[in-house]
Structure 1
Amino acid sequence: MFGRRVPVKYVLLFSVLLALVCGGTAIYFAQQRSWIATALLGVLAIWFAVDALRAWSWKKK
């Protein structure tokens, strides 16, 4: 932000953390049979997991 990049390790860490939180919350809402919340949180969990994979591939380079 403002001309400075966020280090890749922080992007990876926060993406994995947010994917786990969203996935766990989606599972909770699935057990409560709240399907709209489950779908939204599931999509967010997948989004953050893909972002973590992309950050991991950047770190390998």
Structure 2
Amino acid sequence: MFGRRVPPHVVFAGSLLLALACAALAFVAFSRGSLIWGALAGVLAVWFTVDAVRSYGWAQERRRQEQVRAQEEAQRDADRAARRR
């Protein structure tokens, strides 16, 4: 939005906290007999849970890409050192 992305671990933590808060609100609403507010809070809890799972997947993919990049750089450095000899 402003030229910078929010890091995936921040999105994960925020989404997880919001999912827990919505789940708690859904529980309270259902226990008090308010079906509409309970259903709305339940849908939001599911929404934020899915968002947290997706952001966790993004973080894992980013780590995998960094490992591959590091291995490729190490291989290139080893090849350059072998050519110099």
In the superposition, the TM-score normalised over structure 1's length comes to 0.97
Deviation per CA, 1:5-39, whole angstroms, max 9, x where unpaired?
Answer: 00111100000000000000100000000000000
Q: How many pairs are equivalent?
A: 61
State the SS of the aligned residue for 1:4.
Answer: coil
Q: Which has the larger radius of gyration?
A: 2
Gaps of 5+ in 1: none
Extract structure 1 runs of 4+ deviating beyond 2 A.
none
**CA shift at 1:60, angstroms?**
0.6
In the superposition, the TM-score normalised over structure 2's length comes to 0.70
What is the CA–CA distance in structure 1 between the aligned matches of 2:9 and 2:49, rounded to whole Å? 14
What residue identity is the alignment partner of 2:25?
Answer: T
Give me the identity figure in percent: 49
Which residue is 1:50 aligned to?
Answer: 50
